[in-house]
Amino acid sequence: MGSLFRVVVIGGVAAGTKTASKITRLRPDADVTVLEKGEFLSYAGCGLPYFVSGVVKTQHELMATPVGVVRDSVFFSKVKNVHVLNHTEALAIDRTRKHVRFRRADNGEESELPYDKLMLGTGANPVIPPLPGVELRNVFTLHGVHDAVGVRDMLREHRALDVVIVGGGLIGLEMTEALVETGCRVTVVEMLPQILPMLDWEMAKQVEQHLESHGVRVMTGTRVLGFEGDGAVHHVRTDHGELSADMVILSVGVRPNVSLAVAAGLKLGPTGAIAVNDRMQTSDPDIYAAGDCVENKNLLTGKPCFVPLGSTANKQGRVAAINICGGDDTFPGVLGSTVCKVFDFCVGRTGLTETEARREGIDVETVLAPSPDKAHYMPTAKTLMLKLVIDRGSRKLLGAQAVGPGDGSKRIDVAAMALTASMTVDQLDKVDLCYAPPFSPAMDNLITAADVGRNKLDGHMTGVTPMDVYAKQQRGEDFIFLDVRSPEEYGEVQLPGTINIPLGALRKRFNELDRNKEIITFCKISLRGYEAALILRAAGFDRVRVMDGGLAMWPYPKVTV
């Protein structure tokens, strides 16, 4: 019988516990020990906003298996054959002796554990800006269970009326619904020109307007200067004035927790996270790392990136475990696929945004395509706004974004598969997706968007973005902004500077249009706008473009009649 195979795992949330559990499945003879600094093991951090809102009733549900068994140290010992030491902080890694020094929080005693293989799942730490007053009570990060409990208790006891969320990131925005429903006045303060930098501006603007429609104040381009209060926070100072605040939630991102790795001399990547190869090995072949502490590779650009997600952590943990046990598995990289819920809006993205693609020097075509997520005659149909980013040269899909009350998650997932397979829009528009009126239109939203992309690439449609149209208006350019909706629709809401000729009457009213001027057509979603452009071009109008996304995706003020 061979010597004992000893594995030490530092970090007991996502990547660490996934690695430990998979190792004991592959090597029942392995001696696996998990060191976790905190109290809670294998908890669903992304579920914290729903614990605060009450959708998830208890914190134990975030740490339970699908059948309700809490994943505590006893569970890992009896079911997984994994030794778990929580409240235990790893202090140092001795790579020469292959030992980890640690300290127990209960008695302060220090000790060592030997290892044959070491796994780092140290995660990431919330960014806490070095601002005056950031240490005041009721300033939370919502990065762990303790903060979530503090926020929930304040809401339940109605001790928070004015809440300021610093940063327009995912966790903070997912919290807004719970805060508003409790009666809080919520203000989101974002330093950048837009919230949700994972989206392009016009898509993020739709989310911003949705937040405002639910009473949330959004202040972009605003810098927080400090926090004031007597023990507990009372005000937030910004470069655009002072805000009342009974509670502050910091949502300005996370940084990889690499202190142990740095002290041990392990290599970091250009993003500041731990550098690993596709087998999840660090610069020391006996030390592996996975999850929010490691650097990833962007599947489309091949460049290093830092995209901390629980889904990625679990996949990487499995890969690490297989290789630790002598197998051969690889993790290819990520697309940054992300989805979140903001009130009743689904917000998702995968691949490259237009901004990112242009930064890479790629010549891109874009598509804005709003439409119902199910057959339009179904009472459950809801609007979904899609944006595609396409490489003009190769015609390959580069990225997709989805915003709206419709089902965006499955469209983003299909787009992620298309990106993984390096599909062109010509291939994507023929994918055999399911169709039934309660679930999707006959031509799925993603397929319709791919067809719009093909029409643009093939020269059948010349598009112009709402942002470019608005810029033309601001510059005072003389063009015809033609709304081809019905008179009834036009009478309800309009865009500034438009004229209305319904599509069915267009052929009889050519004489009302100046052939020397550029004409930009649109309707609610610009399907009729596209038809109008084809009619005008056939009639000899040679300066015709279609406004992408139509009225539905116009991100500026509209005129309500």
- The residues carrying an active-site annotation are 46
Cβ contact 281:287 at 8 Å: yes
What's the distance, CA 534 to chain centroid?
A: 37
Cβ contact 321:343 at 8 Å: no
Read off the DSSP letter of residue 12: -
366: left (phi over 0), alpha (psi -120 to 50) or beta: beta
State which amino acid sits at residue 50: Y
Nearest of 164, 163, 179, 174 to residue 196 by alpha carbon: 174
How is 285-310 classified by DSSP, letter by letter?
TTEEE-STTB-EEBTTT--EE----H
**Of all helices (H) and strands (E), which one includes residue 172?**
helix 170-181
Q: How far apart are CA 509 and CA 490, in angstroms?
A: 17
Q: How far apart are CA 297 and CA 306, in angstroms?
A: 8
Cβ contact 531:539 at 8 Å: no
489: left (phi over 0), alpha (psi -120 to 50) or beta: alpha
User: Interior CA angle at 136 toward 133 and 138, to 5°?
Assistant: 130
Neighbours of 424 (CB within 10 A): 19
